[in-house]
Amino acid sequence: EDQVTQSPEALRLQEGESSSLNCSYTVSGLRGLFWYRQDPGKGPEFLFTLYSAGEEKEKERLKATLTKKESFLHITAPKPEDSATYLCAVQDMDSNYQLIWGAGTKLIIKP
Amino acid sequence: DSGVTQTPKHLITATGQRVTLRCSPRSGDLSVYWYQQSLDQGLQFLIQYYNGEERAKGNILERFSAQQFPDLHSELNLSSLELGDSALYFCASSTQGQPEQFFGPGTRLTVL
């Protein structure tokens, strides 16, 4: 059964303190892995798509990487405005464009 | 702004009632997805439409139904509402051949 597990559930960092969020997945065949950012009460905002192991994508202070079993979202020198819940989702080769979602990591950056 | 619009932003109603949520996808997107997100819960996939046809069903209750119209907008109908149906309801759309889903701002439903 397809499964996505994100860790930690919550992460508190000081401004400027770099860290990583983890997304572990189990699928029969990966079509794609997706990272989203969600602010409270708002719709998820698309960040990255990763398709194959070894692939990396960057956007400002965020960098997403992918292995055959997990993805990391690295946050470098975060600012308070990076505080949000970060969601990971995967799409199985056999799915009909459905995404399997993780529960998210709530990131809090303290000034 | 993702380009996906949803109305209304907020909806307050009573148990037993019926409501309709509306979604307009991004220009050119043929696929529409509906999700439910309860307080501090993850995104629960409800249903997907592609160019007017139902393509996939998730954990959608029998009291809920949806459709996609010829102009590609979609409506989610929730009936016999219960307190537990209070949640954020999101619509997302995607382009043919591209897996990324783009989300609307959501409708917050409160059932009293």
Checking if the pLDDT of B40 tops 90, the result is no
Give the pLDDT of residue A14.
97
Residues of A in Cβ contact (< 8 Å) with B88: 41
Is B63 touching A (CB cutoff 8 A)?
A: no
pLDDT by residue (tens digit) across B55-100? 999 989 999 999 999 999 999 999 999 999 999 999 999 998 888 9
- Direct distance between the N- and C-terminal alpha carbons of chain B, in angstroms, rounded to an integer: 31
Rounded Cα distance, B88 and B103, in Å = 12
Residues B12-31 have a mean pLDDT of 97
CB contact under 8 A, A97 and B94: yes
In a mutational test of the A interface, the residue from B26, B41, B43, B44 whose CB has the highest number of chain A CBs within 10 Å is B43
Residues 6 or more apart whose Cβ sits within 8 Å of residue B40: none
Give the pLDDT of residue B39.
82
CB contact under 8 A, B2 and A87: no
What is the phi/psi pair of residue B83, to 5°?
-55, -35
Instruction: For residue A102, give the chain B residue with the closest CA.
Output: B42
Shortest Cα distance, chain B CAs vs residue A58, angstroms: 17
Residues 6 or more apart whose Cβ sits within 8 Å of residue B36: B43, B44, B46, B87, B88, B89, B90
The shortest CB-CB distance from B56 to any of A31, A34, A98 is to A98
C-alpha to C-alpha distances, A41 to A3, B65, B90, nearest whole angstrom: 25, 24, 11
Shortest Cα distance, chain A CAs vs residue B27, angstroms: 17
What is the phi/psi pair of residue A47, to 5°?
-115, -60
Which string of DSSP letters, residue by residue, matches A14-37? Answer: ETT--EEEEEEEE-SSEEEEEEEE
**Can you read off the two tokens belonging to residue B48?**
């997907």
The shortest CB-CB distance from B42 to any of A45, A96, A103 is to A103
The residues pairing with B47 across neighbouring beta strands, listed in sequence order, are: B34, B57
The H or E element that residue A46 is part of is strand A45-50
Give the pLDDT of residue B97.
81
CB contact under 8 A, A102 and B103: no
**Can you read off the two tokens belonging to residue A22?**
């983890």
Shortest Cα distance, chain A CAs vs residue B77, angstroms: 20
| Residue-by-residue pLDDT tens, chain A, 111 positions | 889 999 999 999 999 999 999 999 998 889 999 999 999 999 999 999 999 999 999 999 999 999 999 999 999 999 999 999 999 999 988 776 789 999 999 999 999
Give the pLDDT of residue B7.
97
Rounded Cα distance, A56 and A72, in Å = 10
Torsion of CA B37, A2, A54, A16, to 10 degrees: 30
Rounded Cα distance, B14 and A6, in Å = 36
C-alpha to C-alpha distances, A49 to A55, A109, B104, B108, nearest whole angstrom: 10, 24, 19, 28
Instruction: For residue A9, give the chain B residue with the closest CA.
Output: B40
